[in-house]
């Protein structure tokens, strides 16, 4: 599902939603905006269209899935937030999610039956249903498994990307000279008459450095998914017995003075000209993990983070509300499965490109 060809086939969705996103931000120019809410709406709509194959929600919270399903984009976002909350709420949440998933799966099955031989998979749900119908699979997918994968794709790809971009903008606002360096690179490579496209990203090394530095100092999760020691081994002088459950603390690794110079400082220049990547081959930087249990959607996550960050910097000048100074901006993290800002970033944007580019 996460092959390069499949990810590329969804580029038009990312482009369309990005244009809608910057147009919506343009309408909020000069006003204080809670950035993560806008970013989450962007990533949620992209993931919904990629996973479910349809644009179920609009901007309004009153948009519904359909006449037989009472669900708005606001309600779905609240359920995703609740998913990361306390276990005691899981049973009530399951009923809400089942209603949502039943509507989606029934709609996709009905479309498949109606089109018969002309059916073409439009999203990840269609692919999962095809696997579930396979009469001779390596691993049989049940209905619950399809629901679980669908939920994992939507929730896993929504919050993590939005939080990473929010942290990046937060760090950049505190260091205006970094924004100047980034916009100079963007103006040189992209110009001021169009938006950044995915094909531009490889020619934006400073933007890539900002992304890596953000993932180093603000990884989405403190710990990687747990591992199991397959044999007795010795790590840094510690004996690890076979069968031991091992947790890798990437938050601490990203701030380890033995690995990084001035680890508490946000310094993207450390990655300019560096061969260190985030694809699991350099163990000092493992935001997506490594090996067989590495995040399967890391390539999609990188595209969403890079394109969002690039266009936010390319399309807007950033500052804090009048009453807030850059040095007073809190960078505290909230405790949990993920590491969001304790206090969401509130920022003011002003367009820096010709106004016709912001029109849909």
Which of 314, 76, 107, 280 has its CA nearest to residue 197? 314
C-alpha closest to that of 24 among 351, 353, 352, 354: 351
pLDDT of 86 > 60? The answer is no
pLDDT average, residue stretch 171-179:
96
Q: Is the pLDDT of residue 355 over 70?
A: yes
Alpha-carbon gap, residue 218 to 254, rounded angstroms: 8
Note down the domain range covering 280. Answer: 4-358
pLDDT confidence of residue 210: 98
Least confident range of 14-18, 27-31, 130-134, 263-267: 130-134
Average pLDDT taken over every residue of the chain:
86
Average pLDDT, integer, range 158-168: 92
Averaged pLDDT for residues 201-220: 96
Distance of CA 237 to the CA centre of its chain: 37
pLDDT: which is higher, 144 or 215: 215
CATH number of the domain where residue 274 is located:
1.10.630.10
Q: What is the pLDDT of residue 143?
A: 81
Number of domains into which the chain is organized: 1
CA–CA gap between residue 195 and residue 210 (Å, rounded): 19
Question: Given pLDDT bands bounded at 50, 70 and 90, which one contains residue 65?
Answer: very low
Using alpha carbons, select from 347, 318, 310, 331 the residue that is nearest to residue 209: 310
pLDDT of residue 268: 97
Does residue 42 surpass a pLDDT of 60? yes
33: nearest Cα among 169, 172, 207:
169
Per the listing, tokens 């509300």 go with 321
Q: Provide the pLDDT for residue 60.
A: 46
Q: How confident is the model at residue 69 (pLDDT cuts 50, 70, 90)?
A: very low
pLDDT at position 126 over 60:
yes
Which range of 6-20, 106-120, 184-198 scores highest in mean pLDDT? It is 184-198
Please name the residues in contact with 142: beta carbons below 8 A apart, sequence gap of 6 or more: 132
Q: Is a pLDDT exceeding 80 seen at residue 192?
A: yes
How many Å apart are CA 161 and CA 39, to the nearest integer?
8
- pLDDT of residue 51 exceeding 50: yes
Where is pLDDT greater, at 66 or 96? 96
- The answer, yes or no, to whether residue 177 has pLDDT greater than 70, is yes
What share of the chain has pLDDT > 90, as a percent?
52
Average pLDDT over residues 66-76: 54
pTM here is 0.84
DSSP one-letter string for 49-98: HHHHSS----SSTT--SBTTB---HHHHHHHHHHHTS-GGGHHHHHHHHH
């Amino acid at each position: 599902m996460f092959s390069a060809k499949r990810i590329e086939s969804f580029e038009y969705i990312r482009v369309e939603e990005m244009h809608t996103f910057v147009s919506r931000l343009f309408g909020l120019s000069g006003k204080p905006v809670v950035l993560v809410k806008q970013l989450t709406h962007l990533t949620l709509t992209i993931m919904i269209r990629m996973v479910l194959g349809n644009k179920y929600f609009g901007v309004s919270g009153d948009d519904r899935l359909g006449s037989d399903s009472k669900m708005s984009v606001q309600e779905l976002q609240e359920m995703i937030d609740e998913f990361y909350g306390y276990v005691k709420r899981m049973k009530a949440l399951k009923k809400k999610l089942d209603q949502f998933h039943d509507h989606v799966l029934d709609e996709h099955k009905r479309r498949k039956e109606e089109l018969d031989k002309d059916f073409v998979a439009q999203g990840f749900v269609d692919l999962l249903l095809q696997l579930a119908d396979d009469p001779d699979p390596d691993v049989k997918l049940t209905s619950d498994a399809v629901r679980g994968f669908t939920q994992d794709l939507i929730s896993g790809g929504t919050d993590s990307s939005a939080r990473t971009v929010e942290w990046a903008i937060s760090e950049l606002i505190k260091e205006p000279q970094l924004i100047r360096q980034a916009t100079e690179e963007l103006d040189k490579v992209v110009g001021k008459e169009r938006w950044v496209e995915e094909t531009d990203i490889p020619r934006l090394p400073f933007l890539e450095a900002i992304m890596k530095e953000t993932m180093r100092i603000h990884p989405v999760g403190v710990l990687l998914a747990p591992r199991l020691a397959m044999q007795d081994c010795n790590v840094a002088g510690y004996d690890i017995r076979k069968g031991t459950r091992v947790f890798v603390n990437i938050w601490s690794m990203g701030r380890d003075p033995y690995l990084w110079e001035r680890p508490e400082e946000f310094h993207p220049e450390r990655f300019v000209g560096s061969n260190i990547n985030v694809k699991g081959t350099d163990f000092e930087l493992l935001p997506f993990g490594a090996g067989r249990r590495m995040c399967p959607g890391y390539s999609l996550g990188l595209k969403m983070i890079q394109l969002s960050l690039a266009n936010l910097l390319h399309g807007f000048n950033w500052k804090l509300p009048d009453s807030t100074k850059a040095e007073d901006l809190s960078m505290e993290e909230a405790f949990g499965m993920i590491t969001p800002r304790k206090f969401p970033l509130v920022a003011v944007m002003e367009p820096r490109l010709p106004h016709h580019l912001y029109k849909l």
